[in-house]
Structure 1
């Protein structure tokens, strides 16, 4: 058994255990208090995070494409269930963050064991699609920036004619005649060409080689010139000394032998001591470096390069296996396509006619045929429709209920007046005493189906054949597709046959019983037809031609709304975790998250739900997110990182981008319609609003009036409500001054992610990373004191300050003039500081969000309960 198969089996066992725990929680209908509910579901949530991490690594490393599809299904279910638990934990704790230190210690895990990696690695088709899309956007932007000069077609033709006519003013020479004869003899020889991608790659390689050789020659010239100057100055110094000695300007002193020996001994002792101290320092530095106490300036990248090569090789093998599976699917479809179709149609027809006969014999009439949108005759086969016996029992129960309802109606009318007052008082009490009950989940059934498929198709499979294509699964899928296609045609015919039989049945019983009715009568057909017509109209409006969508795409690119974004990854986000918030949360003290928690929250709210259509359908709906932070705290970086992680299409609705475009109500509605259409046709997509609070500002600043930021304030809520599960669309706002917005701003965004002010741990790690890359920076540089004094500055400002200090001239002098913390602090102080009032307003902002208000009320209640327990006398 391979390592990947072992990991897969262990992941399946974990999923089975979690599924059992989920069912136990669902079966337990007893209400729980808030604290008991958190204690119950938080461990399962952590285990789901660990399962998602394991499945993510397994999905990236697995070569077998059929197994990858199975792993992907389980991964989508695990992500959906994990996010459902996350939603419940947020409701119970009124916080987006959790610090389960006690559970991690109990499970013997570290925070890295539940850290979710970027899991949606793109397949070859997806990569090619993204590259093609980026190239299309770049080409469109280039054409807009560099339009071709307008040339009349007649002028072009005329210039071509003149160029083909030989000159009459001067006779051609013999050489020209030979050239022209060659062109006449071989006018259209095929010119050997190379592909455009190969040519671009070759030109880039040649440019790199040339730049490298030019750099080497430049360094050599400068070094030779420097050595020449050193030799020249040495010779000149010797000549000057000899000349001064010759003319008596310098008198040579004669020392005794003892004095010379003592001087030599002193020099030797000093040199040997210096050399010994230097060797000891180097040895101590190597020891500390091997123990991980200090960071080296140059790291060995062979391991990372080898890992990258292995990853590329795995992707190649995945692509080879995928093509093999597609080839098998094509062969099996040709084999079973038409030969089985007629037999399947006959079997389905006989099965439905038997259902007709069963109802007619048992009840005397036919049942309603299941509608097409609900599944059609699939519901009959799977037993999801009523049997004749169940129909008769249900009818009797309805009669009994109708008789009892008449008797109880009179009694209820008498008690209505007295019960109204009691019901209003008891509502609040029932809500308080109700507690927490587990909500229904959409994920458990799909997850159970995945587990069942694994047991049937893979658990008992011979491991010697585990790396070959499983043709049995392919045949079953093809037969299932054929059956569904055939069932649609059979359903249409059977509905017509059922209508004819119902007509005949009505004629037979019309004279016997004028009130004769049954479920299959044509009583409600007109309403159904109307509903179907409305549904068809809506579908026709939604479905658009591909050319129209492409035209909208080009228009949005020309307007600057669709653009390419720079490369950014969530793994490059710097920040350390909070290590004291567990105790603070336990003791009901005020606590705040750190920069390290932002990454995991972004993964759970933005990346995981949008990563695939299945995950977006199963996970709780989240249509809008606002990332709030002070200026230069990394909001734009996070937006680009989210788009890069999932390969999303970015549509920029920033007011400055829309300035002077699509003005007027009709044009604005047309713009939002185009964005909605393009976003749904190019999933996943992110609608970015840089300055997410500007459409709802209380007062518009003078510099923003030209941009008209409130233009889309009324259209955005409708757009957000129109996002449905499976659309893979997210409205992402970036807010620098959210406290200046009105109350409508807090209703637009469903989740607020606040970037906190930099803390000591994060700044310390950041300084270590950027400073220790320079070779001559001391490994014992006082990073701790510098980090302590830099708390509050954003990491972007710190990076810029370090780069300004360690310029080329300063790096040359590092060997002789070591870097001091004062230099970086002076550079930091030259930056424009954020006003204290702005910092205070931003610190109060989280308490104004809907979740922050709930958290404040909950903390007041808990503190009051601690200060005044039930048995305490006042």
Structure 2
């Protein structure tokens, strides 16, 4: 598409965003809603609409080449992502569930489940600062060197049961007997050919020709019938034409244009940076002296005006208050009104309340219900939207066909920066000048002022917080990374994308909840949830600082559902570094309390310096064992139980560090301490029928197999109920071998081939899934969900209100 088309798409997204902001920021906001279902419906509608704006803006930002437009779009995009996360957090708090089903909202807005997919912005990796890119290059070099110099693992004698040993011997013996039998059969066939060679007559030749004709004509007729049948199915729209299954030339051209557009973005960005530096230096040289002179004249005039009005020179504003810029701030009428109303409110609060006021307060308390939480992004979105409406929407760009940067915009932006720089210099000079004036004219008051300033500075210095002790202050970042790589605590993430976590949408979620049945989430819901809770906050610094802070996530589910794959996918999508603090990985490393403190200090220090970072804890239940098994006592799995939560508290909003724990046996852990550690617990179920169908189809194709009509995927998905994606991968690897791929032309794959290896694997039984459900119901969010389903949550809220009233009366 052309740049004009993307500009129109941006304008459409801004129009929808304007409608959303007017709804949320209008003074006539809806009253507090007592019905939880109606309130959630409103939240879900806002969430879906913001998500559509996010999808459009992400597409626009990826292809627009104008550097200054890209900065404006990026500001709006960060605000929309943050608002989306706020709405998701509010939906979780109001519905007491991490998973939400919005089938009715999709039907109202005439959308499909594909429109609910969370896009992963490309700029998470492509637009890193130069320092981060250099640090990542340094880290990749260390990892490559470590892989090359890695010593071969010592041979470990694997314990083998008697049954396994007998099975191996039987396989070898049967193979030997089979080879021997094949040789004997071949020898006997050769002997029979020697004795059965006879001269065939004319009758035998005719009979052979008839047989060949019969077979050939049957083959040709079946082939024609197959072709006619396929053409009829394609004509009826029941199958896709083969030419559309392969990317058409138009799609290939569009992809090439998108790639060239991204190269053009980099080229224009370099030109913009060079032009910015040149224009800044030019403005500083040309307009700087005049600007400095004007500021000094204005400040001197202010000195004289204050001297004439009060009889003494004023105190110069501090740098923290804005310096001389604070002197010339003009307040709008609206700001004056707000100040007056604030003063009146303070005065009215100090006065004793009358009967009417008390009655009004009681009415307000009665009207209390579910309200929208205050947002940290709406004000930024409003300002960014106003900038678009006032500047970009009506701007004439007929002369800027190539969409390069505009010089006048750079001048307007850099004049403010230069003014701030010059103001600092002018403030230092004028403070000295004011001190000289005071010393000559008003010595006594000047001395008092200096004394007061010293007291202020002293009081400010007392309030400084103590910094944390740096145990590795004398070491470089490269040496710390090298040690962590050598110890196996810092690893290279696998090249896996979040889209590779396959799964279908849950189409019956809303229907089941309306019938008071809690549905199990689908794998598609898990993928969307991790995009919101992990990928989007880690990818953007602005979003992570203002959005609801999530420090630790626990992925709980049976073995083989893809928990480890999700951890690697999060690292790959955000460019995060992967630290492994699993109990098996840390066993025997950094012994003692001092060693443990050093290990955690190094991991968290490097994680903050090389952010975004993910700290992975495999088998997270081992850290919080109720009772440590005898075979694991030597590993000391509860070693990090006390110190890791302390390090977790040190993570702040500006630190893009996320702890992800994975567990397939959460029932063996103490649930209270586990829930204190992880503030988000995501339950990953075994795949449902739709997800299994997609998994079989995609995994067989990925392994090199062909999915034909002979392969009944529906039956295969039905009989594989209870099996995880990991089990399916093992079965496909054992069936779709290199030799089997070569035989597909004559013998296509059949569902029966996958049944035998599938039957040798134990599935996830219904009892295990129910046990996981019961465990999740004991978590804090699960308890709230159970109370809400029984109606106790609504009963508890008014009681709390009564208690507060009684306390107030006392």
Q: TM-score range by the shorter chain?
A: 0.7 to 0.9
Query: For residues 99 and 73 of structure 1, what CA distance do their matches in structure 2 show?
Result: 30
1:804 aligns with 2:734: yes
Pair 1:849–1:270, CA change in 2 (3 A): same
The change in CA–CA distance for 1:612 and 1:360 in structure 2 (over 3 A counts) is farther
Q: Assess, with a 3 A threshold, how the Cα gap between structure 1 residues 377 and 861 changes in structure 2: closer, same or farther.
A: farther
Give runs of aligned pairs for residues 741-820 of structure 1, distance below 5 A. 741-742=669-670, 743-771=672-700, 778-820=708-750
Q: In the alignment, which of 306, 309, 320 is matched to residue 267 of structure 2? A: 320
Residue 246 of structure 2 is matched in structure 1 by 300
Match of 2:11 among 6, 9, 15: 9
CA contact (8 A) 1:574 1:595 kept: yes
Closer/same/farther in 2, CA of residues 543 and 88 from structure 1, 3 Å limit:
farther
Preserved CA contact (<8 Å) 2:495 2:568: yes
1:83–1:619 contact (8 Å) kept in structure 2:
yes
TM-score, normalised via structure 2 length: 0.80
**Given that residues 705 and 741 in structure 2 are in contact (C-alpha distance below 8 angstroms), is that contact kept between their aligned partners in structure 1?**
no
- SS of aligned partner of 1:626: strand
Among candidates 448, 455, 477, match of residue 382 of structure 2: 448
Query: Does residue 569 of the first structure (1) align with residue 497 of the second (2)?
Result: yes
Contact 2:32 2:367 in 1 (8 A): no
1:429-484 CA-to-partner distances (Å, cap 9, x unmatched) read 99896212222221122112212332344223222234121112211222222222
Shift of 1:321: 0.8
Structure 1 Cα separation of the partners of residues 308 and 436 of structure 2: 18
Decide which moves more: 431-440 or 319-328.
431-440
Tell me the alpha carbon deviations over residues 252-296 of structure 1, each in whole angstroms, 9 at most, x when there is no partner.
4759x9xx69x9778756643442222222443465568464797
Query: Which protein shows a greater Rg?
Result: 1
Question: Does structure 1 retain, via aligned residues, the 8 Å contact 2:34–2:369?
Answer: yes
Aligned residues: 744
Matched residue, 2:652: 724
Distance 1:571 1:371, change over 3 A: farther
2:424 is matched with which residue? 488
Q: Contact 1:695–1:709 at 8 Å: present in 2 too? A: yes
Tell me what 1:849 maps to: 779
1:463 is aligned to: 397
Is 1:633 the counterpart of 2:561? The answer is: yes
- Return the alpha-carbon distance in structure 1 between the equivalents of residues 706 and 693 of structure 2: 19
CA 1:138 to 1:34, structure 2 compared with 1: closer, same or farther past 3 Å?
same
* 1:623–1:723 contact (8 Å) kept in structure 2: yes
Give the corresponding residue for 1:138: 143
Q: Tell me how far apart the structure 2 counterparts of residues 796 and 740 of structure 1 sit (CA, whole Å).
A: 23
CA gap of 1:112–1:816, structure 2 versus 1, over 3 A, is closer
Per-residue deviation, 1:37: 2.2
**Aligned with residue 411 of structure 2, among 475, 478, 493:** 475
CA deviation string 1:282-312 (max 9, x = no partner)? 4434655684647979952565654543333
Tell me: CA distance 1:33–1:560, structure 2 relative to 1, closer, same or farther (3 Å).
Answer: same
- Per-residue deviation at 1:368? 7.7
Q: Distance in 2 between matches of 1:852 and 1:49?
A: 27
Q: Report what 1:593 is aligned to.
A: 521
What SS does the corresponding residue of 2:398 show, helix, strand or coil? helix
CA distance in 2, matches of 1:368, 1:729: 45
Change (3 A) 1:433 1:789: farther
- Cα distance in 2 for partners of 1:7, 1:300 equals 28
- Compared CA separation, residues 313 and 629, structure 1 to 2 (3 A): same
User: Structure 1 residues 693 and 146, CA, compared in 2 at 3 Å: closer, same or farther?
Assistant: closer
State the shift of 1:72 in Å.
1.0
- The correspondence for 1:123, drawn from 117, 121, 126, is 126
Secondary structure class of the residue paired with 2:37: helix
Shift of 1:589: 2.6
- Contact kept, 8 Å, 1:120 with 1:611, in 2: the verdict is no
Moved more, 69-78 or 271-280: 271-280
The alpha-carbon distance between structure 1 residues 35 and 381, as it changes in their structure 2 partners (threshold 3 A), is farther
1:6 is displaced (CA, Å) by 1.1
> Could you tell me whether the CA contact under 8 Å between 1:30 and 1:437 is conserved in 2?
yes
Within 1, Cα distance between the matches of 2:241 and 2:598? 56
Give the structure-1-normalised TM-score: 0.75
Report 1:264-275 matches (<5 A): 268=213, 271-275=216-220
Partners in 2 of 1:701 and 1:671 — Cα distance? 25
- Secondary structure of the 2:265 match is helix
Determine whether 1:284 maps to 2:229.
yes
Give me the whole-angstrom Cα distance separating, in 1, the residues matched to 2:490 and 2:288. Answer: 46
In the other structure, the counterpart of 1:53 is 55
- 8 Å CA contact 1:624, 1:750 repeated in 2: yes
* Structure 1 position 579 matched with structure 2 position 515: no
**Structure 1 gap segments, 5+ residues each:** 148-232, 412-418, 420-425, 511-516, 866-874
Deviation at 1:499, TM superposition (A): 7.5
**What residue in structure 1 maps to residue 623 of structure 2?**
695
Residue in 1 that maps onto 2:24: 22
Taking only aligned residues, the RMSD between alpha carbons, in angstroms, comes to 4.4
Q: How does 1:108-507 map to 2 (within 5 A)?
A: 108-121=110-123, 122-123=125-126, 129=134, 132-142=137-147, 145=150, 252=201, 268=213, 271-285=216-230, 288=233, 291=237, 293=239, 300-301=246-247, 306-351=253-298, 372-373=319-320, 375-378=322-325, 381-382=328-329, 434-466=368-400, 467-492=403-428, 507=444
Please state how far the C-alpha of 1:760 moved relative to its aligned partner: 0.7
Q: 5+ unaligned residues in a row in structure 2: which ranges? A: 153-185, 796-810
